[in-house]
Amino acid sequence: MSDSVVMVLRMTATSDFRLDLTHRPRRMRRTSALRALANETDLHVHNLIQPIFVIDGDGALEPIESMPGISRLTIPLLVEECRQLLALGIPAVALFPKLDDSLKSDDGREALNPGTLVLRAIRAIKAAVPDMAVITDLALDPYTVHGHDGLFDARAGDLINDATVEILAEMAVLAAEAGVDFVAPSDMMDGRVGAIRVALDENGFEKTSIMAYSAKFASAFYGPFRDAVGSASSAGTHHLDKRTYQLNPGNRREALIEVALDEAEGADVLMVKPAGPYLDIIREVREETELPLAAYQVSGEYAQLQAAAANGWLDLERCRDESLLAIRRAGADMILTYFARAYAESVQG
């Protein structure tokens, strides 16, 4: 131990001891004016996308127990919500339909019904609040009894990749016809972005964008979402095993392969999901591509902050803002977050 270190250890707070330092980084943290000048990362309301769960009918909203503050909305309530979100400065919503069990089947054929709930929701928003950008998932999980994102071969215990992609491409065309701004394939099948691009273009929808769930991990943090859309009800658990298509949480290089393929196949926006536990992946993707990058702060990330705050263990607003800022710092341009509305309200003044 050097003499000076030994001396520091002996010093008391009132000492006149002075380090001979050239660099004192704390000088730039001294006042809020200096901290503002040196600030590196901003979070804006216009970076945020509000995911919304949609139900049929014209009844009351349905609160989701594992996601305090979030409810399933009927189409009339959804339209009013979009009006308010746009007034708050939130530019986009991502829609997730929760269907009646009677509409679910083994092959998810309701997804191709031109009158299905999510398509009616898109049309209603675009008619009443045309400036709101609308994003819809392309995946079969809301429509299948087994809750998987595609056609499930029970004997092989796996999804049928190419036949699923064919259905996703048809879903994309239906959503584009309804006026959606982004289709967002969330299924992780191989080759789906390219097939969706071709199907959209062949049908005259070259202006419809693709937000690709590119690096989507097989995460346990999706639990509350699966309650919200009822995609695990038949299995009686939300621990649905999607490891043959979603990424291994330990795999960084494999995530970069998926991202590169989606970019080459024509994605307009790339996505990393979940966000908080995968900040390193967001950073690496940011450095690999010039495309806009989205990150999805998923249901379990939302639920864990809500639960801790409900117990008085964390300050909800401060942890919320810090979690979103960290996702921006990692390199995300836009963030899908269940906190979007609450954040926008908190900065309204």
Q: Which residues are catalytically annotated?
A: 216, 273
Name which of 4 and 337 has its Cβ closer to ligand PBG.
337
Stretch that binds ligand PBG, among 41-49, 157-165, 218-226, 316-324 (CB under 6 A): 218-226
315 is written with which tokens? 């300050």
Residues 35-94 that bind ligand PBG (CB under 6 A): none
Name which of 143 and 205 has its Cβ closer to ligand PBG.
143
Task: Work out which of 116, 186, 214, 323 binds ligand PBG, going by CB under 6 A.
Answer: 186
Stretch that binds ligand PBG, among 12-20, 108-116, 134-142, 276-284 (CB under 6 A): 134-142
Task: Work out which of 139, 175, 279, 291 binds ligand PBG, going by CB under 6 A.
Answer: 139
Nearest to 59 by CA among 72, 44, 41, 43: 72
Task: Work out which of 152, 182, 222, 245 binds ligand PBG, going by CB under 6 A.
Answer: 222
Give the nearest distance from C-beta 231 to ligand PBG in angstroms. Answer: 6
Name which of 83 and 109 has its Cβ closer to ligand PBG.
109
Stretch that binds ligand PBG, among 163-171, 193-201, 220-228, 309-317 (CB under 6 A): 220-228
Name which of 205 and 339 has its Cβ closer to ligand PBG.
339
Q: Does residue 272 belong to the site contacting ligand PBG (CB under 6 A)?
A: no
CA 95 – CA 51 distance, rounded (Å): 6
Residues 224-263 that bind ligand PBG (CB under 6 A): 225-226, 242
CA 294 – CA 286 distance, rounded (Å): 10
Q: Does residue 164 belong to the site contacting ligand PBG (CB under 6 A)?
A: no
| Per-residue 3-state assignment (H helix, E strand, C coil) for the chain | CCHHHHHHHHCCCCCCCCCCCCCCHHHHHCCHHHHHHCCCCCCCHHHEEEEEEECCCCCCCEECCCCCCCEEECHHHHHHHHHHHHHHCCCEEEEEECCCHHHCECCCHHHHCCCCHHHHHHHHHHHHCCCCEEEEEECCCCCECCCCCCCEECCCCEECHHHHHHHHHHHHHHHHHHCCCEEEECCCCCCHHHHHHHHHHHCCCCCCEEEEEEEEECCHHHHHHHHHHCCCCCCCCCCCCCCCCCECCCCCHHHHHHHHHHHHCCCCEEEEECCHHHHHHHHHHHHHCCCCEEEEECHHHHHHHHHHHHCCCCCHHHHHHHHHHHHHHHCCCEEEECCHHHHHHHCCC
Give the nearest distance from C-beta 178 to ligand PBG in angstroms. Answer: 19
Stretch that binds ligand PBG, among 21-29, 35-43, 121-129, 135-143 (CB under 6 A): 135-143
Residues 279-298 that bind ligand PBG (CB under 6 A): 298
Nearest to 323 by CA among 30, 43, 13, 12: 43
Q: Alpha-carbon torsion 200, 337, 141, 58, what sign?
A: negative
Name which of 158 and 201 has its Cβ closer to ligand PBG.
158
Mention every residue, 6+ apart, whose C-beta is less than 8 A from residue 349.
none
Stretch that binds ligand PBG, among 23-31, 124-132, 221-229, 306-314 (CB under 6 A): 221-229
Give the nearest distance from C-beta 141 to ligand PBG in angstroms. Answer: 5
Q: Which residue is nearest to ligand PBG (CB)?
A: 225
Task: Work out which of 81, 110, 141, 263 binds ligand PBG, going by CB under 6 A.
Answer: 141
Task: Work out which of 74, 86, 132, 149 binds ligand PBG, going by CB under 6 A.
Answer: 149
Task: Work out which of 299, 306, 323, 337 binds ligand PBG, going by CB under 6 A.
Answer: 299
Residues that bind ligand PBG (CB under 6 A): 137, 139, 141, 149, 186, 222, 225-226, 242, 298-299
